[in-house]
Amino acid sequence: MRPQLTQNVDLTTIDLNRIDRLRRKMLRHDASLCSERALFYTQSFQETEGQAMILRKAQAFSHTLRHMSIYVEEDSLIFGNQASRNFAAPVFPEYSIDWIEKEIDSFALRQGDAFSVDPKVRSEILSIVEYWKGKTHQDEVNRNLTEEIKLATRQGALHLGGISMSGDGHLVPDFPTVLAHGFRSVLDSIDETSDFYRSVRIALSAVLAFAKRYAGLCKELSDHETQPRRKQELIEMSERADRLFEGPASSFKDAVQAMYLIHVMQMIESNGHSFCFGRFDQTLYPYYKKDMESGTLSKEVALETLIHFFLMTNSLNKLRPNAHTLYSQGYPLYTNLMIGGVDEHGFDATNDLSYLCIEAMNQTALNEPNFSMRYHRDTPDELLETAVKLIATGGGMPSMFNDEVAIKGLVDLGIPLTEARDYVAIGCVETGIPGKYGHRPTGMTYSNWGKMLELMLYNGRDPQSGIRLLKVQEQDSDDFILSNYDELFKAWKNVLNFYTNLAVQADQICDASLSVFDADPFSSSMMLDCLALGKTVKEGGCRYDIISQSNIGPSVVGNSLMVLKKLVIEEKKFTLDQLKVAMEDNWTSLESAMIRRQVLDVEKFGNDRDDVDQIVRDVFDSYLALLPKLDTLRKGKGPRISAYTMSTSNITSYVPNGMEVGATPDGRSAKSPLNEGCSPTQGSDTNGPTAVLLSVAKLPNEKVAAGQLLNMRFSPSSMKSPESLDKFKALLKTSVRLGIYHNQFNVLDSKVLRDAMAHPENYGDLMVRVAGYCAQFVSLMPQAQEAILARSENGVSV
Amino acid sequence: MKGRVTNIQRYSLHDGPGIRTTVFFAGCGLRCLWCSNPESLRNEERIMVFTSRCTGCAACLSIDTDQALTLNGKSLTFDPQKDLAKFIAVCPYKVFVEVNEEVEAEDVANTCLRDRLFYEESRGGVTFSGGEPLLQPEFLKEVVQRLKKEGIHIAIETAGNVGFESFEVIDPYVDLYLYDLKFIDPVQHLRYTGQNNEIILSNLERLIQLKKNIVLRMVLLNGINDTDQEWDKRFDWLKHHSSSFQRIELLAYHNFGEGKYVALGEEYPMKDQKKTDEIRIQEIKGKLESMGFEVHVENAF
């Protein structure tokens, strides 16, 4: 058991041994492939030829839920499984199949995100490939992609990620309504007047049947169970399963179980990720309160239930192609679970569950759920302090969201204030309204801004592939004539505008296909306003249709423009051509290294230097200016608001995007990562966290309404003592006042500290703070560094 | 007015209350053998040589007219007595770094003001350290005047080895003194810091008389100043001052500064020195607490 972070709850009365066993099971990460869903979907599709896709999907979903293997995890209080065993990934052939066929024998060999494949599973999956060839979502997208878009992806300027070959996911069901009514009444009130409603009926019937199957299984298991406590638990679980979704959730435990099973079923219907739990403490509070008041629940039992729930979210999985694993490492599902924040009137809505969730995350200490917290000026000090203590344990959770900025961003898009106050993170940092956002708020087409900068400097021709899609200046050559800063920035805007339009085109092609292949009658039945409008989310059924691309590398662009402005245009230290020679050389020769040194000495974003910070702001503004004229596919087809906004929530994609870009004018070396989110380029922020926050505060954060991702690294020594934690809390509170949108704190472990010793040039931002002493970690003698490392490895405070 | 500053360090956590910016001044009258900021000891520019950054390109050798350097592959050695400043401009990898530039008081103050929201939220401020900040009293005064006009909390970290008139120059603007006491024993003080402690102690007693806010700081080194001989004297002296200090801070010795000696081409005087062990620290802490002091232990780890 980890040291307790919360007060007023007695962990010793909970079966911690069992939790430990369950946790170890989830930690083991034996990922495998499961063929059941693929087989059932294929069987069903073979029998529904000629029908509308949504009906086919509904029937296949139903067939699967009624026949797939179900089991109950030995030590768990929560039932529900996505595949035939723990941490197995189902296969979703209707989205894409070619890469599965190609890569099936290499899944087990991957360095990261590997999946073992049983020989029987292998032959079963290969047996269905032929049926799906040419008939998948990916095939449809490829048929419709224009030559220009394809060339742009070969340049590396654009990437079509999940939206081109997978379900979209990124939904937060309207849990309050679903829990308050269940599905039976919805089912009974459906008029089968269209394919959509017929499909919903089929799906919901299957959902109710699925729950009943667990009732039978739990009863059977209880009959054979000898241990009295477990026997009783299984009987309870059986009764729970029997009444699940038939009417309102009748208890806290029922509500928790319902949320979990819904999550599992969403991840059977679609292989999208980021199916999220929304404002978890708010959703469950009425059930918690009622049970506590009636004496049928205690804090300890509630906490135990939550820990089991949190642990179980780690049992689901998703198979991705080899190339995609670079963009999202660690089998991530981004199942966001959020606590805290204001209510619809703007008052703080913290409750007991807010604290219990922090404790549950503390005891879970795994990758899922993706735990996040909303906060504001009046967040209770105790909650903030408890959250800070969790952050200090490492693991980066919770990531923190600033209510003031997030809400303003949504209101500025036209969302009513009371609804905006209910916002959640969907996925990683993608902000939306629970129950009302029907598409991923971030990460439609990925835009590689580092590449666009490079293309600009070569007059539109990609040095790597030789492909050119536009000329930036009149001449035919790859030369770029740098006369003054205004012309330079105008050229940037031209390139950005060109590729943004291409990206939107790509978005629409993917969205058009998704509206067919990602038809999701089950998920859509839980989203407003699908049932009222009679449409799935992708057809225009969701209330708010607000999306954004994934824009990668603004700090690299800003830092580079600053160098060109200062050293080339103003101070004429060298010409652009001389700089390009040094870049092409990847700074290797003596001459190139001298140029690089000058370039590195120019102020970088993240150090609270107004000049370069303003340029990065201008880069953001150049993109924001393009948004009003961009349309989604669903405009006018149902949603109250259809719009593009901006987001810098790009997970780890800054790494593979960087691989496609040569050295850049900011001194970055060829193929190395771009910057993460809106954070400074790694290691270039050498003035400490207050300077980083002040730099980021100068960006138009409230306009990045789908999430402005900031990641900061702290050495353990800066967070350990109670006084240091207090100061960290003050840092968070100041962040609210500065208008910082989001912050995730990585408190580094010994592995990273070791890397800092080996590669100090990447760790300029790492600070050691000791009384009366000034230096960076990397200037320490190896023995001192070793000592710090040894301390952190032993769990002693460093 | 100009002065010499080694570094301005933002988000300092151990140099006074709250979130602070610490300004390290150049120049000090003491030469404590365990000093972790050797580059701050002289009020003049210093060249530091970070040989681990060397790639062996040998650009420096081409202008090394008086054999200041030797290069074996990537292994660079240097003679600190010779002129090294000229290499700064030719080294592409910033092996040679100049510290202790002259800066304008106005600029120092402006940098310190940038974090004021953080100071407000955390009840922090700005701390002046070094080196010995009181060796540039007029320069220091100009900086703190500007900060005080904006209501910033000011702390001075000093070893007190200056004439008291230097304190008087800036005292009107000071909220807190972090006073470093190295030894009570005058012989040991001279031996380990190069100066006797008469004015240090008399300055401290005057500050106490004037009822200033003082945190007493004492570094603990194993076998050097944690001995019974030294601490018997300290307890003796302290028993007359049980309400003179906001609190006492016991700082565990660390060797984080060693790398900087190497970069300066100097011998590290405290090789293999250990910090006082935990049991002894707790023993001293316990005794001080029983005398009525609030005691805080700062471990570098």
| C-beta atoms of A730 and B117 within 8 A | no
Give the closest-approach CA distance of B61 to chain A in angstroms.
13
| C-beta atoms of A730 and B121 within 8 A | yes
Q: How far apart are CA A9 and CA A794, in angstroms?
A: 28
Q: What pLDDT, in 10s, does the model give residues A702-718?
A: 999 999 999 888 877 77
| C-beta atoms of A727 and B124 within 8 A | yes
Does the CB of B89 have a partner CB in chain A at under 8 Å? no
Pick from A727, A736, A791 the residue to mutate for testing the B interface (most B CBs within 10 Å): A727
Does the CB of A796 have a partner CB in chain B at under 8 Å? yes
Residues in A touching B180 (Cβ below 8 Å)? 772
Does the CB of B233 have a partner CB in chain A at under 8 Å? no
Q: Please tell me the predicted confidence (pLDDT) of residue A162.
A: 86
Q: Please tell me the predicted confidence (pLDDT) of residue A795.
A: 39
| C-beta atoms of B11 and A797 within 8 A | no
Q: Please tell me the predicted confidence (pLDDT) of residue A797.
A: 32
Question: Which residues does A246 contact at the CB level (< 8 Å), separation at least 6?
Answer: A182, A183, A184, A208
Whose structure tokens read 């900086």?
Answer: B143
DSSP for A450-462 reads HHHHHHHHTTTB-
Whose structure tokens read 């087990």?
Answer: A108
Residues in A touching B52 (Cβ below 8 Å)? 760
Contact A302, A287 (CB under 8 A): no
Does the CB of A784 have a partner CB in chain B at under 8 Å? yes
Q: Which residue of B has its CA nearest to A596?
A: B92
Range list for CATH 3.30.70.20 in chain B: 46-98
Question: Which residues does B104 contact at the CB level (< 8 Å), separation at least 6?
Answer: B1, B2
Residues in A touching B24 (Cβ below 8 Å)? 774
Q: Give the pLDDT mean for B51-58.
A: 92
Residues in A touching B256 (Cβ below 8 Å)? 768, 770, 773, 775, 780, 784
Beta partners for residue A685, in sequence order:
none
Contact A301, A288 (CB under 8 A): no
Q: Please tell me the predicted confidence (pLDDT) of residue A429.
A: 87
Nearest CB among A688, A771, A797 relative to B15 is that of A771
Nearest CB among B19, B24, B117 relative to A737 is that of B117
Nearest CB among A727, A779, A783 relative to B13 is that of A727
Nearest CB among B24, B114, B257 relative to A694 is that of B114
Residues in A touching B36 (Cβ below 8 Å)? 770, 772-773
Contact A156, A448 (CB under 8 A): yes
Q: Please tell me the predicted confidence (pLDDT) of residue A716.
A: 76
Nearest CB among B114, B118, B298 relative to A730 is that of B118
Question: Which residues does A584 contact at the CB level (< 8 Å), separation at least 6?
Answer: A463, A662, A663
- Which of B:131-190 have CB within 8 Å of A? 157, 180
Q: Which two tokens stand for residue A355?
A: 């604290």
Range list for CATH 3.20.20.70 in chain B: 2-43+100-298
Does the CB of B63 have a partner CB in chain A at under 8 Å? no
Q: Please tell me the predicted confidence (pLDDT) of residue A274.
A: 93
Does the CB of A586 have a partner CB in chain B at under 8 Å? no
Taking 50 as the pLDDT cut, the residues of chain A under it are: 793-798
From the number of C-beta atoms within 10 Å of its C-beta (0-12, 13-18, 19+), residue A666 rates as: buried
Residue type, B191: R
CATH of domain B2-43+100-298: 3.20.20.70
Residues in A touching B6 (Cβ below 8 Å)? 774
Q: Please tell me the predicted confidence (pLDDT) of residue B301.
A: 59
Q: Report ipTM (2 d.p.).
A: 0.96
- Whether the model pTM is above 0.90: yes
Angle at A463 between CA A458 and CA A465, to 5 degrees: 130
| Percentage of the residues of chain B whose pLDDT score is greater than 70 | 99
CATH class as words, domain B46-98: alpha beta
Q: How far apart are CA A784 and CA A774, in angstroms?
A: 14
Q: Please tell me the predicted confidence (pLDDT) of residue B259.
A: 87
Whether residue B272 has pLDDT greater than 80: yes
From the number of C-beta atoms within 10 Å of its C-beta (0-12, 13-18, 19+), residue A698 rates as: middle
Q: Please tell me the predicted confidence (pLDDT) of residue A750.
A: 73
| C-beta atoms of B92 and A796 within 8 A | no
- Which of A:750-769 have CB within 8 Å of B? 760, 767-769
Q: How far apart are CA A453 and CA A555, in angstroms?
A: 12
Q: Please tell me the predicted confidence (pLDDT) of residue A786.
A: 66
Q: Please tell me the predicted confidence (pLDDT) of residue A778.
A: 57
Question: Which residues does A600 contact at the CB level (< 8 Å), separation at least 6?
Answer: A667
Q: Do the bridges between strand A446-448 and strand A550-552 make them parallel or antiparallel, or are there none, so unpaired?
A: parallel
Q: Please tell me the predicted confidence (pLDDT) of residue A394.
A: 84
Collapsing DSSP to helix, strand or coil, A534 comes out as coil
Contact B28, B88 (CB under 8 A): no
**Of B196, B195, B218, B197, the residue nearest B276 (C-alpha):** B218
Q: Give the pLDDT mean for B36-59.
A: 94
Whether residue B265 has pLDDT greater than 70: yes
